[in-house]
Structure 1
Amino acid sequence: MPLQPIASRMAIIGHPIHPVLIHVPVGALLGLVATDMAYLWTGDFFWARASLWLAGVGALGGWLSGTVGLIDLLIVPRIRRLIAAWCHAILAIMLLSLASLNWLLRVGEPTAAIWPWGVYLSLLTSGLIALTGFFGGKLVYEYAVGVDIDEAQRKHSTAVE
């Protein structure tokens, strides 16, 4: 039996919104590790301020993207039946809770929370990004959530010719 794709209900012209929105917050939260380390290494306030902004963009952008993904999880019955979808959602909520805490610790005095808690939270958040992304990848590559298989096959056959 061929793979039956699972359409995203949170989509624009057939393109799922969640994968589009997630790139900026993921980049911000991964960059946060680098700016925290740069602050520890140099002591330059610029890096502490950059960390504050990256933490905020990562947390707020993540909640926006997560809300879109959660709506898909709740309104598409075939997605709700997937264990990988629930693992992805639960890990994302944990990740966003820690990212939000990390950001809130920095508001007011960006340098005060970098060592040790800011760094610990940044590293833990990065690990959770990898694990959450693994389950998100399973949803796309194993269950074809949000994938237009007919369009992909059409493009592949045109490219081969």
Structure 2
Amino acid sequence: MPHSPIPSRTAIAGHPIHPMLIHFPVAALMALVATDFAYIATADEFWARASLWLAGVGALGGWGAGLIGLIDLVSVKQIRRLITAWSHALVAVMALSIVTLNWLLRYQDMLAWVSPWGVTLSVVTALLIALAGILGGQLVYEHGVGVDTDA
């Protein structure tokens, strides 16, 4: 049974803002795993510094995108009624909380926290981000959230 589209309250010319903002944080958080392993393999400080920046970009950008998504979650009744929407938000908040801790630990001492805790937190974050992405895809493709068929 097809669903009618659920428009986003935070959109520009019918284009929802939340999906526009998540690409850079997601890419940063996935790349964070690679730079952590690169530092472990090479002991080159460049990779630890890259990890610090990627964690920061992922955390700050993710929280910004999350705030925009939160507006839709709490202000659009059709979205608020979807268990998938709440699951997506919960998993994303868990991932962002972990990466924020990861970033703050690295900010104190960029080299000391990479192994074993930094890379562990990075991998857990990447897995949670992947799950949040699957749930976000279900919101769009199965429930029509943020889809504007009139434009």
**How does the TM-score come out when normalised to structure 2?**
0.97
Tell me the equivalent position of 1:43. Answer: 43
Q: Distance in 2 between matches of 1:108 and 1:124?
A: 21
Tell me the equivalent position of 2:17. Answer: 17
Shift of 1:149: 2.4
**Structure 2 counterpart of 1:31, which letter?**
A
SS at 2:108 equivalent: coil
Shift >6 Å, 4+ stretches: none
Tell me the equivalent position of 1:76. Answer: 76
SS at 1:110 equivalent: coil
Q: Distance in 1 between matches of 2:139 and 2:130?
A: 14
Alignment of 1:42-61 (within 5 A): 42-61=42-61
Q: 1:2 to 1:118 in 2, by over 3 A?
A: closer
SS at 2:145 equivalent: coil
Q: Distance in 2 between matches of 1:10 and 1:89?
A: 16
Q: Which has the larger radius of gyration?
A: 1
SS at 2:8 equivalent: coil
Identity %: 65
SS at 1:107 equivalent: helix
Could you report, residue by residue, the CA deviation over 1:99-150 in whole angstroms, capped at 9, with x for unpaired residues? Answer: 1001001003211100011000000001001111111011000000001224
Greater relative contact order, per chain length (Cα 8 Å cut-off, separation 6+): 2
**Structure 1 counterpart of 2:18, which letter?**
H
Tell me the equivalent position of 2:122. Answer: 122
Alignment of 1:143-158 (within 5 A): 143-151=143-151
* Structure 2 segments unaligned to the other structure (5+ residues): none
What number of residue pairs does the alignment pair up? 151
Q: Distance in 2 between matches of 1:124 and 1:28?
A: 14
Tell me the equivalent position of 1:33. Answer: 33
RMSD: 1.0
Tell me the equivalent position of 2:62. Answer: 62
Could you report, residue by residue, the CA deviation over 1:37-79 in whole angstroms, capped at 9, with x for unpaired residues? Answer: 0000000000000000000000000000000001110000000
Shift of 1:2: 4.8
Could you report, residue by residue, the CA deviation over 1:14-58 in whole angstroms, capped at 9, with x for unpaired residues? Answer: 100000000000000000000000000000000000000000000
Q: 1:2 to 1:33 in 2, by over 3 A?
A: closer
Give yes or no for the alignment of 1:96 onto 2:133.
no
